[in-house]
Structure 1
């Protein structure tokens, strides 16, 4: 009976407090007192409605030490960790409560001196598969008060926007009976002696207003206030000529902002220039589907953070902004990566915002004229900026361009670098399409990288994601179905759900929509012109359709969409390179690669090449002939074949983990495994047409793709360059790439392939130049009937020896893993091609001592004569440190150096010495 009575009282309290998603008992949560949190699972996102399992509160606090409203402190447990302290008590089917005792500070474990501002909550199922959040998928916050008299304005919501003559309902509550006075812009509206005050009124004039409640009791005074605006009727007026969507810089003090928002009623601009309040003077005008506003009086070169407030409820950044201010990620970005990054306006707004700046100094491009290679001559190096250097920046990639030149590639394909969620990502979770991600550096850092690439003759390909956007995209948020946690049916750009039931991420672009098509064209035009990229690799293009299915079948509608997109790209830059991650029906890929200039499609040969390197060939599974555009029947060399990309397990990892064994021949042995990859590389780069290699495959990177999670950060292994066997693999890549540069037969010759068995061969013919490549991918010594196009003298490239073919089929014995490349025309020496780019010359160093090696904090260098000069180089030849001295021994601090292999050169009055050393952790 007692329990029933308590339950009755509990529900009465809920009713008295306004029965919301989260309520508290008592109504004022005081820092040094206990409080009961009540959660209604039917409210907000209702993700836990009617759930019958255990529910936990994922909870922490916002304190005066928090950098933003999302910077939770003293979180009770990680997201997936269930602790008894955070377990909710079910009161009824959808009502839960949590006792916070003995007081709020003790419950969360805060030290004295740190002020609690709010408690923060997300409620979740025990297995973390379901969650209950506020409307719009937002976190739930409860204000925490200090001891003594408190008063609050609970209605209307702060920064509300009303129409003229609309009823404005005010509710105020005090923690004890007090004299309450409600004022509007300092004019009293009503007063009462009570614990609560309720008042309704309306206004006939548009403008900006402040409501203030003052409570007085027992010599104490407490106040609360909120701002609201009464808007004008939206003015209909055409946008000025030449205004496009986004930020339009008019002069050094003026911008015109334009937002495409079909079906929306009104919009305001809020930002640093109006203290983030919906000001009637910043209400946007309407021009059809667009809202626009000219903002003047800005300080030249000052950065301003701003958002659009649409229909008085939706806060979004500008979809076209080139810089985003992010409350979640920015405070983790180092000043080294991005100096003087503007701070997010914490406490004034929520969600991602945009940055504008007038009077910017434009980047001056140094390289304006360069010629792109023919598509069959593209040697593409795919890399992830985050995992290629320790610094993880645009600048550090630019500083390492020597490495790519040394390797011999001519095209750099960067995984997505437009703004994405988080700071550490593969980039396939995009939200803002016109902003380079700040985790890698500034937009001018990126331009300088691209400019430097062009100066050295590198083509720049941007990997870009237009199959989907993640849900923090402003275009997703502008039309969002919170109840179903998906894009709303009236979203101009996105499907409600993806028509692909197998492959779907984020929110799916509706590529049939003219709004999406216009957006796609604006994205591609922007990067081609503003950043001068040479083309794009489009992620998951078989998703560019509304045809139901997994995307594998022939799809005429998708072909039309991609052709339309390509036509626009080529209208902006006729020589632009278009690469599709398509993996659809071969007949469809033949059409796409033959269309106009010819699009390119990815050709994943990872499985077959890896079976070959591991020594397995049952049922011909090591046959990698599908990596040939000629074999696939293309009319143009539009197949970008690869043995590895970012998406596949690494060849060397599988060699060492799963490699075949026959007697003493063991592919799990590192030297043997590397030799197998050399052979695969020779065959791979003898197939004609464009080719792509994934970062570090050239020295046998053997860390699994699943290390630290599939998309997690991977360790650098530059010390591999001090391993002779790994460098032999590097040299095979380098030499083969340079053969392709110098002899068209390797990129454009006619292929004759015999790749189905363990003994494999490729023949190439172009004019009077012929190539024969043979290899034994088996596990034992075998004899191959080596095919030659004619009799006579042939030159073996890797050994530099000559061979006299007395017939067009010659029996040659090959060891397992042995390969030979014959040419009927002399080729440069293998060792010369492999080291065509000058490297530091290592001299005898028997009289120079360097210790310890490896070293973590310092090294000692000593020579028999006085050292006059010391120079420290990274393995790509970049000068890292230089100093002059006059001592026999020098102690050099290296604690601030990145991990990896270095070369140190010491000059004395008589000699010059060179040693390698490894900087360890």
Structure 2
């Protein structure tokens, strides 16, 4: 029996152990995992650790094709069931037992053989995998099924590839273990001959340990093979030692930039900025991934801290995608930081062809870590947006969205299909949360790894260009959320100078600080004072502006663009920082040299003096008004003065504040309404239907303030407060206030296009659309010079608008309270105009002899009056809880399970007519609970669909048992057939 294993470093194998050592698929197995194993991501982690696990079987298409994954389902990664929780034993060590057998645990049919167990170790906090224990190279863990036999373990060198300069001495240590302790054992170390056979014997030992030092002088790859023998068993380990000569010193050709440059003659140049590195090899499909002397890059060194490595390839095929990497100092494998397509050894297999089939397979047997791809003579995209002009800053109505949580297949192609919906709403800009390559697939995107590649999880760069082009055709600008405060460990610029495979950065790193300069940093902090960082930042912004016709950027954590150390003092971080202002102006100047109209949007939140200076320079700044608008919609006058959404009220001379009621970082207003809303008598904001009627009035007092505005996805449909719609880690929803079943802060959220079918929800969309339309029809509602008088810290609020840009005057009056309100408004205090027009009804109103207009308003009622008559929108404004207009069930009901019998999956529905505490269990014919579908939790009125998986149950008859505090006990039968 011949067993061939890929050996792993000693410290890895020592930290992932299992008992028994030799076992079959019908045995139970206990594993022990240490935090320092592999990438060491769980070192010092204090939370619970959960397995994400599966098996490689005879039905797998490759050695990494997971089957029978637990937890299963599309959201399995963000699920943490108790049966996958590991037992903490202390000292950063965790245990887990697969029982009663490996086959039974994974429910693998007898027709398949189990070859390996696949493992990832997830550190859970707040319903998210905040830490993930992987192999040192970022790949998955695998335990081979070994019933008996012989195992050879190479302790040194730990890596399968060792690099050294000629001549070099390599210490080699190899051990054997076997289930035949009395057998005769031997280990041989062989080198491959020029003829390709392993016939050159370097060392031999009789016993279970071989220790030797071998000296290699000839510049080449020395391919080695260790063979262990015991009786009729053998095990082997292949590894390489590469000996190289110093690179040729030669100046780069004039004009050659960092990254990949295609030339008209079909040749391709590569240039890598790598100070203090000795040698770089180019490896890829063009040389079968062999780092030979022919592919050593030339070195252009002004001095040790200004060094480039470069080369030019010829003889490449047109229209062919080439995979490649840089091998730096024989140890570090990175993709080019400027690569426009990245291959990931772990994440790519989870992207189905229906989402993105445009990228080649990862070269599994050739290399490790990220791989770049280039293609000569790529087809040129035909743009048709030459006449597009981005909206002026003060007219912006931005729609912020996370593609993952906006459309089910999270693709640019499907996003194009939503443009009709967004155009009808009236938005003229879309702000996309990060779409450049980030770590993992499902993410908010604030963990960037590569800045020039579109993340494949969302589609192809051609599809993204189609989306931008189609948006521009509709007059909609595209803004990208760009993360340049930090990068994460998979970044090639982190990995090139890192203490481990994925960081932290070393002192030599030309782009990143060893220690972040502020407390809010995540990942690894960029040093924006470094010329290398400034060059890189400028290349990033220029690339997206030119290649994808992007109209601007929202810079995440822009307050972090500083080298002033404020660790431990968040207040000092926000104080006026001349160096930070200088750096941001420098970046903006470069952008405007490419596109004078480009939006520079800062998530800044610094002191007034700094923000005013940046706004006066032309930057736009995020203006968070979530708290004030939340107080208002909940029905509390205290703290509800939202005038800070207006630049003049905030003390800014220019309309450069992007006001928002909600964003990806803020709790939904609807969540606040239904959980914390005010009440009086029979009127309660916490009533679901009443909560929805509070959103249109907020829109009236939001969109009609002059200056740019932003809304967060599905806010126009009253998102928030439904099942799974709770943003964890927020003042209005800490971990205890959100339900345990609610997704983590950055985990996928429910996608609610069905909310359009709810008339009261869609009424919000219609009314907001009408308000945005009014905003577009008159400069009164956008001009920076418009004066706004207001009275807001009361229940019945009003705001009056007038200015030199328009002859129109406007008056908005609304009752945010929970009781009826009346007000006489003397319009003649502001204008001689006495005839006013109600925007939504079309009625005309005339002030009385005293110049008064009277307003008697129910809670949530509002009026938009103008001195100019505008076309009446085809929507109505109502605060009534009209049951007939809503798809809210009239009774509590539990449907039958369908299909029935079933395998592998079935569904059932529950109709809830009013909020209630509800639990859903599966019980057997004896009434014993065998599966918890949903623990008892508060559910709002609505229609809910639940899914049953056959893998959770054995064959037999069961009942869905539903218990409601308000409505009693319900049961419905079903049968599982296997």
Same-fold status (TM-score > 0.5): yes
Give deviations 1:826-863, integer Å, cap 9, x for gaps: 212122899xxxxxxxxxxxxxxxxxx99999xxxxxx
Kindly report which structure 2 residues correspond to 1:358-377, keeping only aligned pairs within 5 A, or say none. 358-377=376-395
Is the counterpart of residue 522 in structure 1 residue 544 in structure 2? no
Q: Secondary structure at the match of 1:794?
A: strand
**Alignment pair present for 1:589 and 2:611:** yes
d(CA) in 1 for partners of 2:771 and 2:477? 19
Over 3 Å counting, the alpha-carbon distance change for 1:192 and 1:423 in structure 2 is closer
> Which residue in the other structure is 1:165 paired with?
167
Task: Report the alpha carbon displacement of residue 396 of structure 1 after superposing the two structures with TM.
Answer: 0.8
TM-score by length of 1: 0.79
Q: 2:746 aligns with which of 711, 724, 732?
A: 711
2:525 counterpart (480, 488, 508): 508
Cα distance change of structure 1 residues 63 and 228 upon mapping to structure 2, 3 Å threshold: farther
Residue 267 (structure 1) aligned to one of 280, 295, 308: 280
1:728 aligns with 2:763: yes
| Contact 1:76/1:86, CA 8 A, preserved across alignment | no
8 Å contact from structure 2 (residues 696, 764) kept in 1? yes
Please give the root-mean-square deviation of Cα atoms over the aligned residues, in Å: 4.3
Tell whether the 8 Å contact from 2:138 to 2:346 is kept in structure 1 after alignment.
Answer: no
Quote the offset at 1:544 in angstroms: 1.6
Residue 451 of structure 1 and its aligned partner are, at CA, apart by 0.6
Counterpart of 1:821 in structure 2 is 864
> Contact 2:137 / 2:369 at 8 angstroms: preserved in 1?
no
Whether 2:241 is the aligned partner of 1:228: answer yes
Counterpart secondary structure, 1:692: strand
1:415 is matched with which residue? Answer: 433
Please report how far the alpha carbon of residue 447 of structure 1 lies from its aligned counterpart in structure 2 after TM superposition: 0.3
CA distance in structure 2 between the aligned counterparts of 1:383 and 1:513, rounded to whole angstroms: 33
Segments of structure 1 that go 5 or more residues without pairing to the other structure are 1-16, 835-852, 858-898, 901-921
1:780 is aligned to 2:819: yes
Asked if structure 2 preserves the Cα contact closer than 8 Å seen for 1:253 and 1:358, the reply is yes
Corresponding residue of 1:22:
13
Q: Find the counterpart in structure 2 of residue 544 from structure 1.
A: 561
Distance change (3 Å), C-alpha of 1:797 and 1:73 = closer
Change (3 A) 1:370 1:21: closer
Structure 1 match to 2:505 = 487
Q: Distance in 2 between matches of 1:729 and 1:700?
A: 7
Once the two structures are superposed, the pairs formed by residues 92-103 of structure 1 within 5 Å of their partners are none
The 3-state SS of whatever aligns with 2:653 is: coil
CA distance in 1, matches of 2:32, 2:406: 49
Seen in structure 2, the aligned counterparts of structure 1 residues 279 and 660 have a Cα distance that, compared at 3 Å, is same
Q: TM-score, normalised by structure 2?
A: 0.75
Q: Distance in 2 between matches of 1:396 and 1:499?
A: 40
- The alpha-carbon distance between structure 1 residues 149 and 506, as it changes in their structure 2 partners (threshold 3 A), is closer
Q: Write the distance in 2 (CA, Å) between the matches of 1:463 and 1:129.
A: 22
Deviations 1:237-259 (A, max 9, x none): 12223322222223585322222
> Closer, same or farther in 2 for the Cα pair 1:669/1:348, shift >3 Å?
same
Query: In the aligned structure 2, how far is the partner of 1:787 from the partner of 1:715?
Result: 47
- What are the equivalent positions in structure 2 for 1:603-752 lying under 5 Å apart? 603-618=623-638, 621-702=639-720, 703=722, 704-706=725-727, 707-748=742-783, 749-752=786-789
Match of 1:860 in 2: none
Distance 1:106 1:398, change over 3 A: closer
Unaligned runs of 5+ in 2: 1-7, 72-76, 179-183, 302-306, 728-741, 878-894, 900-942, 945-978
**Counterpart in 2 of 1:766?**
803
Contact 2:118/2:140 (<8 A) preserved = no
Q: Give yes or no for contact 2:662–2:668 (8 Å, CA) kept in 1.
A: yes
Matches within 5 A, 1:226-625: 226-250=239-263, 254-288=267-301, 289-482=307-500, 486-501=504-519, 503-547=520-564, 548=566, 549-550=569-570, 551-595=573-617, 598-618=618-638, 621-625=639-643
For the residue of structure 1 that corresponds to 2:554, the secondary structure is: strand
Q: 2 CA distance for matches of 1:57 and 1:792?
A: 71
User: In structure 2, what is the Cα distance between the partners aligned to 1:530 and 1:708?
Assistant: 36
Query: Structure 1 residues 381 and 130, CA, compared in 2 at 3 Å: closer, same or farther?
Result: closer
Query: Which position in structure 1 is the counterpart of 2:842?
Result: 800
Equivalent position SS for 1:463: strand
Counterparts of 2:98 and 2:674, CA distance in 1? 54
Partner Cα distance (2:270, 2:599) in 1: 32
Deviation at 1:756, TM superposition (A): 2.1
SS in 2 for 1:831: coil
The change in CA–CA distance for 1:590 and 1:297 in structure 2 (over 3 A counts) is same
Deviations 1:418-441 (A, max 9, x none): 111222222212111111111111
SS in 2 for 1:505: coil
- The secondary structure found in structure 1 opposite 2:696 is helix
After superposition, the C-alpha distances for 1:614-635 in whole angstroms (9 at most, x for unaligned) are 11113xx111111111101111
Write the distance in 2 (CA, Å) between the matches of 1:683 and 1:445: 37
- Are the aligned partners of 1:252 and 1:358 in contact in 2 as well (CA < 8 Å)? no
Query: Contact 1:28 / 1:145 at 8 angstroms: preserved in 2?
Result: no
- Rounded Cα–Cα distance in structure 2 between residues aligned with 1:673 and 1:89: 48
Count of aligned residue pairs for this structure pair: 818
The CA distance in 1 between the partners of 2:384 and 2:190, in whole Å, is 64
Distance 1:102 1:268, change over 3 A: farther
Deviations 1:62-94 (A, max 9, x none): 67766778767789999978989976989xx99
